[in-house]
């Protein structure tokens, strides 16, 4: 009799255990599918704002330090914390710029003391910002390889560039006469690049390729 009871109890335990495992598997599948769908078309963005207690919004969406998922595009980021000067900035989130990084200026005595007490945290912040800046610079150079050769200066001209945003390159040429400007264009060709592929801005001179040329 007792063996039968023990066997029945064992079977019940096995059934309950099987049901429990099945529910856990279903829950894992659900959260995986839900998480994947909710992140579709979004980019993993690293958010790092000091102080760590700062309240942060991106296009009025509340976010926190760490990894968040945002759709590519322009965002107005607002940051505030007690005792610190609030800040607002506009940034473009993209595959080559998956960062929101900034620090607020301490105003009150308590905020200034907070910065002193968290010196290590601020040093780590500077290191991470430096790493992100290098990554963005490398990405920009991959997109516009000519910038690796700039600025270039000789007795005839100076060739530089401006980058209004991560997707735009403006080649700048400073030269005092048409012959020197032509020499600068020839230099670009000698590097293996076609000047007509770029928007070129001449100092005190209109580009022969037109203002809208890119």
Beta bridge partners of 44: 69
Please check whether residue 158 lies inside any domain of the structure. yes
Please tell me the distance from the alpha carbon of residue 68 to that of residue 123, in angstroms, as a whole number: 23
Residues in the chain: 214
* Same domain, residue pair 118 and 171: no
* Same domain, residue pair 153 and 86: no
Evaluate the CA torsion angle 54, 77, 124, 84 in order and state its sign: negative
* Same domain, residue pair 13 and 103: no
Please check whether residue 58 lies inside any domain of the structure. yes
Q: Which tens digit of pLDDT belongs to each residue from 104-140?
A: 999 999 999 999 999 999 999 999 999 988 888 888 8
For the chain, 214 residues long, the average pLDDT of each consecutive 10-residue run is 63 76 71 62 96 96 96 96 96 91 97 96 94 88 94 94 88 93 96 95 63 44
Q: What is the reported pLDDT for 112? A: 96
Query: What's the whole-model pTM score?
Result: 0.60
* Same domain, residue pair 176 and 195: yes
State the residue range of the domain holding 152.
Answer: 145-202
Q: What is the reported pLDDT for 214? A: 42
Peptide bond into 180 cis (omega under 30): no
């Amino acid at each position: 009799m007792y063996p039968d009871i023990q066997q029945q109890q064992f079977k019940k335990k096995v059934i309950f255990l099987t049901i429990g495992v099945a529910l856990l598997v279903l829950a894992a599948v659900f959260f995986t599918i839900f998480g994947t769908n909710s992140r579709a078309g979004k980019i993993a963005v690293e958010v790092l704002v000091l102080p760590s207690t700062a309240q942060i919004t991106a296009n009025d969406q509340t976010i926190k330090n760490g990894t968040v998922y945002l759709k590519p595009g322009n965002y107005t980021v607002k940051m505030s914390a007690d005792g610190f000067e609030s800040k607002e900035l506009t940034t473009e989130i993209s595959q080559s710029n998956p960062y929101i990084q900034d620090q607020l200026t301490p105003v009150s005595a308590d905020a200034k003391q907070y910065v002193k007490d968290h010196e290590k945290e601020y040093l780590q912040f500077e290191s991470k910002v430096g790493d992100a800046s290098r990554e963005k610079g490398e990405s920009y150079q991959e997109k516009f390889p000519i910038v690796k050769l700039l600025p270039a200066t000789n007795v005839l001209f100076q060739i530089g560039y401006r980058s209004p945003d991560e997707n735009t390159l403006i080649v700048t040429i400073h030269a005092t006469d048409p012959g020197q400007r032509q020499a600068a264009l020839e230099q670009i060709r000698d590097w293996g690049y076609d000047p007509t592929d770029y928007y070129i801005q001449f100092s005190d001179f209109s580009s022969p390729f037109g203002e809208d040329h890119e």
